[in-house]
């Protein structure tokens, strides 16, 4: 352990953290799957309302996606523009 | 294609001396101007000789305009039809800006400056229309509805919308750029080191499905989502006043 520099330690932990952050994708994938399933059900029940359902679904999916996009931004910052290394 | 180790936009022109010292131009600025000029030139050429029975470019332009007006009418209602030109321009600009990856260039929306500028534009448009339809007093009062205690939450809500809007576009497009860069460098490594080919032959053909997804499907979807959310928030800023 003595030959690990502080920078390498911080960078390694940041890589692990960015991997953990992307676990948000689990919940978002679940939610988006549920939403799309419901949309398919309602299209099957009312095929004439397909356009409205599709556009509402896409807007809703985009709102749901926000959290995973924020997680992606955090992961990218940790990987490519790490602010923690400069604090050593 | 893109360099995996340096994911920011490249600086293509900079000034070391003279009155413009310190100024630099990234490829984002360059391609933004090209896309904007391309859309304007297309509009000018297609509307140069308007005839009763459209053929050629006029037909394409009429298709786009009709699509935009239908979209705006369906989402915002008939009385907001005046926003259709703005929404159409936003949609076309985002569509071609996102799809630049198809030509092998960096999409302009993979730069946070572009998406933040667009989101700021949308934010001020929403505030302006909110003030215009409610009046200054009503605008200030709607932050305190239904309870004055809601004030901080309402203010935060106003400001998170442009931030999440810009980050959504930026994150989606940048994720596509990074995945494409990883796939291309991986295929290049495979063909050079494992198969020992003189040229990176695997890079031809194999990334095609990914190209279809990240450079055709995703740009259309993201441009649609951005303009859709813009429309619904402008409509909300105007309509919530007229209901009561």
Query: Is a pLDDT exceeding 90 seen at residue A16?
Result: yes
Nearest CA in chain B to A58: B225
* CATH architecture, domain A29-80: Up-down Bundle (1.20)
Domain ranges of chain B: 11-243
Mean pLDDT within B213-232 = 90
Mean pLDDT within B3-13 = 71
pLDDT on residue B4: 60
Nearest CA in chain B to A59: B225
Cβ–Cβ of B75/A55 closer than 8 Å?
yes
Give B140-185 pLDDT, tens digit per residue.
888 887 788 888 888 888 888 899 899 999 999 988 888 888 888 8
CA distance B243 to chain A (A): 22
Number of Cβ pairs closer than 8 Å across A and B?
Answer: 40
B170 CB neighbours in chain A (<8 A) are 73
Query: Rounded to 5 degrees, what are φ and ψ at B240?
Result: -60, -20
pLDDT on residue B46: 87
Cβ–Cβ of A80/B7 closer than 8 Å?
yes
Cβ–Cβ of A69/B224 closer than 8 Å?
no
pLDDT on residue B5: 62
- Chain B residues 2-21 within an 8 A CB cutoff of chain A: 7
Residue B240 pLDDT grade (very low, low, confident, very high; cuts 50, 70, 90): low
CA distance A62 to chain B (A): 7
Residue A1 pLDDT grade (very low, low, confident, very high; cuts 50, 70, 90): low
Cβ–Cβ of B225/A59 closer than 8 Å?
yes
The runs of H, that is alpha helices, within B15-56 are 27-46
- Highest-confidence range of A38-42, B61-65, B72-76, by mean pLDDT? A38-42
Nearest CA in chain A to B7: A80
- Chain A residues 34-53 within an 8 A CB cutoff of chain B: 51-52
Residue B6 pLDDT grade (very low, low, confident, very high; cuts 50, 70, 90): low
Query: Is a pLDDT exceeding 70 seen at residue B76?
Result: yes
DSSP codes of every residue in B137-199: HHHHHGGG-S-GGGHHHHHHHHHHHHHHHHHHHHHHHHHHHHHHHHHHHHHHHIIIIIS--SS
Domain ranges of chain A: 29-80
What does pLDDT average to over chain A? 89
Task: Give the one of A51, A72, A80 whose C-beta lies nearest to B171's C-beta.
Answer: A72
SS3 of residue A38 by DSSP? helix
Give A42-81 pLDDT, tens digit per residue.
999 999 988 888 888 888 888 888 889 889 989 988 888 8
Contact at 8 Å (CB) between B165 and B122? yes
Query: Rounded to 5 degrees, what are φ and ψ at B11?
Result: -85, 120
Task: Give the one of B75, B172, B221 whose C-beta lies nearest to A69's C-beta.
Answer: B172
Contact at 8 Å (CB) between B60 and B219? no
């Amino acid at each position: 352990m003595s030959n690990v520099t502080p920078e390498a330690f911080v960078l390694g932990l940041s890589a692990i953290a960015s991997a953990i952050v992307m676990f948000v994708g689990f919940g978002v994938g679940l939610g988006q799957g549920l939403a799309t399933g419901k949309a398919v059900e309602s299209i099957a029940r009312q095929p004439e309302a397909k356009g409205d359902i599709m556009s509402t679904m896409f807007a809703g999916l985009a709102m749901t996606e926000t959290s995973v996009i924020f997680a992606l931004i955090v992961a990218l910052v940790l990987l490519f523009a790490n602010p923690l290394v400069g604090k050593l | 294609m893109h360099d995996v180790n340096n994911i920011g936009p490249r600086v293509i022109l900079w000034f070391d001396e003279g009155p413009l010292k310190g100024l630099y131009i990234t490829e984002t600025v360059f391609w933004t101007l090209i896309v904007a000029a391309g859309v304007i030139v297309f509009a000018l050429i297609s509307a140069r000789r308007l005839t009763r029975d459209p053929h050629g470019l006029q037909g394409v332009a009429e298709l786009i305009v009709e699509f935009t007006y239908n979209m705006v009418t369906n989402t915002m209602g008939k009385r907001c039809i005046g926003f259709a030109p703005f929404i159409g321009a936003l949609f076309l600009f985002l569509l071609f800006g996102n799809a630049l990856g198809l030509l092998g260039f960096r999409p302009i929306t993979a730069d946070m400056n572009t998406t933040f500028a667009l989101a700021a534009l949308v934010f001020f448009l929403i505030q302006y229309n909110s003030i215009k339809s409610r009046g200054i007093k009503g605008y200030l009062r709607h932050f305190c509805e239904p309870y004055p205690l809601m004030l901080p939450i309402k203010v935060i809500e106003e400001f998170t919308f442009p931030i999440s809007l810009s980050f959504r576009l930026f994150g989606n497009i940048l994720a596509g750029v990074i995945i494409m860069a990883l796939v291309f460098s991986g295929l290049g490594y495979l063909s050079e080191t494992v198969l020992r080919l003189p040229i990176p032959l695997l890079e031809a053909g194999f990334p095609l499905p990914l190209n279809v997804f990240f450079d055709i499907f995703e740009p259309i979807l993201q441009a649609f989502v951005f303009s859709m959310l813009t429309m619904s928030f402008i409509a909300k800023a105007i309509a919530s006043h007229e209901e009561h």
